[in-house]
Structure 1
Amino acid sequence: MADGADDRRGSAGSVQSVERAVALLEVLARSGASGVTEIADELGVHKSTASRLIGVLESRGLVDQEKERGKYFLGVGILRLAGAAAMRLDISQESAPVCRLLAEETGETANVAVLDGDAAVNIMQARGRAEVSAYNWLGRRTPLHATASGKVLLAALPANVRDGLMTGERERFTRRTVTAPAALRAEIAQVVAAGFAVTREELEEGLSAVAAPVRRFDGTVIGAIGVSGPVYRMGEERLSELAESCTAAGDELSRRMGFGG
């Protein structure tokens, strides 16, 4: 009986240590950097206990110390763990509930697109209640320069790659398609500054769209989530509202993909 009681006490102590270690990491994630006293106060433990926890985490590379001020911060080992977890996340799977919610909230067709060479490919779609068209965008490759999702993906590319995709006149699909390289560069700069993209009848007459970026754990843009619908439902005021909705959806999907920014 004594041995069993000791085992239970030992297990309880181990669980408590794990809980405290996780709580310590969460403290550093919130604060950016904290001293031993601050950490101990946050955890409600003695400084010696906090120091022992820090020592274990530091030995695994999960915590590091600022040499000048002596404060502790999250170590590069966290990135290793985050990267391993993020590699298991599939944007097409993670995007399904976010895409459905965006369609429900806006009433428009919601899509998630990823880069495929010089085009955007729609990998997820959900129809909103206001949708009257039976058109299916799923699996369709769309031009980067004439779609909201494409412009988001284009804006996220390294400058040299982006410039290579914007040399020469682009294909014209409607009278409003931006085809001149200089005009397209200016518009992409606006997308970078705003954090979302809007198109008005650039791919098809009567069709407008809004999209925002989706990021993975390291901040790299891996996709775009947006909505599209008829221009008569998407005036300037509505486009601003939809931009907010798409940005919020992009933030949520990015969180699901491991991005903590």
Structure 2
Amino acid sequence: MAERNHADTDKGADAQGGGVQSVDRALQILEILAREGDAGVSEIAEEMGIHKSTVSRLVGSLVNRDIVRQNSERGKYQLGFGILRLASSIPGRLSVVHEAREVLEALAAEYKETVNLAVLRSNYAVNVDQAMGPSTLATYDWVGSLTPLHATSSGKVLLAALTADERTQVFKAVGLPARTPRTVTNRGELEKQLLDVARNGYATVHEEFEIGLTAVAVPIFNHAGSVIAAVSISGPAFRFSPEEQPGLIKSLREAGLTISARMGYRPR
């Protein structure tokens, strides 16, 4: 009788919430299955703190829509192919430029420097969007510009995400030309820098691409955890020193994660 009353209470709460509670619980079930790989009704009910009959009812609805399927051998439930059908439609609809725009503008307003969004195209970092700081010195339009991967902060972030073989192909195609006396043109030295970039989660360059220009960049990840872009802040070397500016690198990292989250990324 107690179990029945508990189940009735669950149903009543769902009805009072206009189905919102059922939706929330269904999403919780999907998160549990995504985390565990598979789970039985009892396990799910115990973790969620609700009655098994409520879990069975919700799982049944998910099974009917192919969002969840039952493993015939173990009797436990797993995510179904319907999830793939839904998920596959997301990346093509997400535009990193659109999702990043608000974040770029906020960074430019806060730090009063130029903020760029870059992607890897044809062995170069291509700037696809830009937010300008209020400084009169920040007037160059980088959108559409092809910049060398080895000499820019965004480029080093994008290079660090490639495999050694992929980097070799890039360098065979375009080389490591010096843009300034400070450009790193030695492959071994560059690889050491890229290890630091991967470890630290950001890259800085001091007058490697252009004399008088300093920049720092962080990666942007997609739903699969792959680096798909980089967001950078750049400014004149005489006033812009990212490592010495309190909170700047932390804020830039948080901005990168915000954009990544909008692209479906979830840190593991």
TM-score category of the 2 structures, normalised to the smaller one: 0.7 to 0.9
User: 1:81 and 1:138 mapped to 2: Cα distance?
Assistant: 33
* 8 Å CA contact retained: 1:210, 1:242: no
- Structure 1 gap ranges (5+): 1-11
Mapping of residues 185-196 of structure 1, within 5 Å: 185-196=191-202
Mapping of residues 118-133 of structure 1, within 5 Å: 118-130=123-135, 132-133=137-138
- What is the match of residue 6 of structure 2? none
User: 1:79 and 1:105 mapped to 2: Cα distance?
Assistant: 39
Question: By how many angstroms is 1:60 displaced?
Answer: 4.7
Residue 253 (structure 1) aligned with residue 259 (structure 2): yes
- What is the match of residue 186 of structure 2? 180
SS of the aligned residue for 1:238 comes to: coil
Mapping of residues 155-234 of structure 1, within 5 Å: 155-166=160-171, 170-234=176-240
Q: Deviations over 1:181-232 (max 9, x none)?
A: 1111111111111111111110011111011111111111111011001112
SS of the aligned residue for 1:121 comes to: strand
TM-score by length of 1: 0.81
- What is the match of residue 88 of structure 1? 93
Residue 101 (structure 1) aligned with residue 101 (structure 2): no
Name the Cα RMSD after superposition. 3.3
Question: By how many angstroms is 1:49 displaced?
Answer: 1.5
> Structure 1 residues 67 and 159 mapped into 2: Cα distance closer, same or farther (>3 Å)?
farther
Moved more, 242-251 or 61-70: 61-70
* 8 Å CA contact retained: 1:119, 1:142: yes
Match of 2:27 among 22, 32, 56: 22
* 8 Å CA contact retained: 1:65, 1:73: yes
Match of 1:48 among 37, 45, 53: 53
* 8 Å CA contact retained: 2:114, 2:138: no
SS of the aligned residue for 1:102 comes to: helix
Moved more, 58-67 or 98-107: 58-67
Match of 2:151 among 143, 146, 149: 146
Match of 2:62 among 53, 57, 69: 57
User: 1:140 and 1:236 mapped to 2: Cα distance?
Assistant: 23
Question: By how many angstroms is 1:56 displaced?
Answer: 3.5
- Structure 2 gap ranges (5+): 1-14
SS of the aligned residue for 2:247 comes to: helix
Percent identity (aligned): 47
* 8 Å CA contact retained: 1:109, 1:131: no
Moved more, 156-165 or 178-187: 156-165
**Amino acid in the other structure paired with 1:113:** A
Q: Deviations over 1:65-97 (max 9, x none)?
A: 799998766556434423312220111111111
